[in-house]
Amino acid sequence: MAARDPYQVLGVARDASADELKSAYRKLARKYHPDVNPNDATAEEKFKEIGAAYAVLSDPERRERFDRFGTTDDQAGGGGAGDFFGGGQAGGAGFGDLFDMFFGNQTQGGGGRRRSGRDGEDVRADVEINYTEVLSGTSKTVRVDRMATCTGCKGSGGEGGKPPQTCATCKGSGAVSRVQNTFIGQVRTQTVCPTCSGEGVVISDACKVCRGKRVVKDSSEVKVDIPAGVEDGQMMHMPGRGSDGIGAGRAGDLYVVISVESDERFERRGQELFTIAEITFAQAALGDHIKIEGIDDEYPLEIPAGTQPGTPMKVKNAGLPPLHGGRRGDLHVQIDVEIPTKLTEAEAKLIRELAELRGEKAPRGEERGGGILGGFFGKFK
Ligand SMILES: [Zn+2]
Ligand SMILES: [Zn+2]
């Protein structure tokens, strides 16, 4: 399915705020929800499209990527297996079932009997690690803002823990059906019960702590074990660690999005690291043993005599490990030869002598207006 512009799908302006997005999404999701439109494939398709659009725009990173590149495609993350996802999820399959957070975990067409409750929302937390931590894996404590079961009523919503009563309007099913006479005969439609908003229960004497909402805002610390080899933007999926469900609803999941701090000394491509080593003209010409700064250690590197600027070299196994264990990548070193920028008269004299010894045409040097470039071109005249 070619993804349409998510802004168009949700019918919002490009600069719509998070609240505007959410409200547009809720409105459309309610309108096209399969429970409201049973056996309507078009509505179902539309419902999925709305979910996918909201998944893109509700994630600041994915929204920015769409704004910039005009695409909602995500490349798959490295490693793949297990609890990892690449930076962002594909379509609406991603961030849990976004739909469930409004409608509970209802199976449609299941014969009327629904679970009383609503699933908790998926929750996102962010954590930043550096390359050293990518190398060895690490344990981090992240703050997670979620909805937790109210301790005042133990989640019942009633004052003093009094259990909620079965909704009289829908008799606990959460849905009401209406029979309409149309030219094709009687049509039965089901809608969410207006009395209990589909929950199947009502609370008469509400708990004062949560005002009958059965959950309260909670901010707690969660320890996350991050394995070695993660890449920037990957997520850890922790099922059941998101917001608590209401009633019989399941708890949502926690997604910890990992960003890997960049290090100006290195460029990373998967497990491979790239760096630049600056050596002097003398080292390049005569050869030398140098040390290359890696992430965890200094590594010896042999510079052969006559090494040219830009020569690629590598230190094996000094890169990063793969996600699920295995051999480390390599540290790729590009050799940069430093040309002295200021010379004393004595140094300049030696270099002129060197050129002479090598039978090169003597560079005219700066007084003739050439500078380093002048000397360079002079050589080829
Ligand atoms: Zn309560
Ligand atoms: Zn009801």
Please give the pLDDT value at position 81. 31
Please give the pLDDT value at position 378. 46
Q: What is the pLDDT of residues 192-215, one digit of tens each?
A: 999 988 878 888 899 999 998 899
Q: What is the pLDDT of residues 223-245, one digit of tens each?
A: 999 999 999 999 999 999 999 99
How confident is residue 43, by pLDDT bands cut at 50, 70 and 90? confident
For ligand 2, the distance from its centroid to the CA atom of residue 166, given in whole angstroms, is 8
Q: Which ligand is nearest to the CA of 155?
A: 1
Residue with the larger pLDDT of the pair 350 and 32: 350
For ligand 2, the distance from its centroid to the CA atom of residue 98, given in whole angstroms, is 22
Please give the pLDDT value at position 274. 97
Q: Which ligand is nearest to the CA of 214?
A: 1
For ligand 2, the distance from its centroid to the CA atom of residue 313, given in whole angstroms, is 71
Write down the pTM of the prediction.
0.57
For ligand 2, the distance from its centroid to the CA atom of residue 100, given in whole angstroms, is 18
Q: What is the pLDDT of residues 105-126, one digit of tens each?
A: 343 333 334 456 789 999 999 9
Q: Which ligand is nearest to the CA of 171?
A: 2
HEC states along the chain? CCCCCHHHHHCCCCCCCHHHHHHHHHHHHHHHCCCCCCCCHHHHHHHHHHHHHHHHHCCHHHHHHHHHHCCCCCCCCCCCCCCEECCCCCHHHCCCCCCHHHHCCCCCCCCCCCCCEECCCCEEEEEEECHHHHHHCEEEEEEEEEEEECCCCCCCCEHHHCCCEECCCCCCCCEEEEEEEECCEEEEEEEECCCCCCCCEECCCECCCCCCCCEEEEEEEEEEEECCCCCCCCEEEECCCCCCCEECCCCCCEEEEEEECCCCCCEEECCEEEEEEEEEHHHHHHCEEEEEECCCCEEEEEECCCCCCCCEEEECCCCCCCCCCCCCCCEEEEEEEECCCCCCHHHHHHHHHHHHHCCCCCCCCHHHCCHHHHHHHHHCC
333 pLDDT exceeds 60?
A: yes
Q: What is the pLDDT of residues 264-295, one digit of tens each?
A: 999 999 999 999 999 999 999 999 999 999 99
46 pLDDT exceeds 90?
A: no
Whole-number percent of the chain with pLDDT over 70: 82
Superfamily of domain 267-379: Urease metallochaperone UreE, N-terminal domain (2.60.260.20)
Lowest mean pLDDT among 3-12, 78-87, 317-326, 367-376: 78-87
Q: Which ligand is nearest to the CA of 154?
A: 1
366 pLDDT exceeds 80?
A: no
Q: Which ligand is nearest to the CA of 166?
A: 2
Q: Which ligand is nearest to the CA of 201?
A: 2
Please give the pLDDT value at position 153. 93
Segment 367-374 shows an average pLDDT of 49
Whole-number percent of the chain with pLDDT over 90: 48
For ligand 1, the distance from its centroid to the CA atom of residue 206, given in whole angstroms, is 8
Average pLDDT, the chain: 82
For ligand 2, the distance from its centroid to the CA atom of residue 117, given in whole angstroms, is 12
84 pLDDT exceeds 70?
A: no
For ligand 2, the distance from its centroid to the CA atom of residue 176, given in whole angstroms, is 8
Q: What is the pLDDT of residues 50-77, one digit of tens each?
A: 888 888 888 888 888 777 767 665 433 3
Please give the pLDDT value at position 288. 97
Q: What is the pLDDT of residues 140-159, one digit of tens each?
A: 999 999 999 999 999 988 99
For ligand 2, the distance from its centroid to the CA atom of residue 264, given in whole angstroms, is 59
Please give the pLDDT value at position 207. 94
Please give the pLDDT value at position 247. 83
Q: Please name the CATH architecture into which domain 1-103 falls.
A: Orthogonal Bundle (1.10)
Ligand 1 (ion): residues with CB under 5 Å are 150, 152-153, 207, 209-210
How confident is residue 27, by pLDDT bands cut at 50, 70 and 90? confident
41 pLDDT exceeds 90?
A: no
- Domain limits, the chain: 1-103, 267-379
For ligand 2, the distance from its centroid to the CA atom of residue 175, given in whole angstroms, is 6
For ligand 1, the distance from its centroid to the CA atom of residue 149, given in whole angstroms, is 8
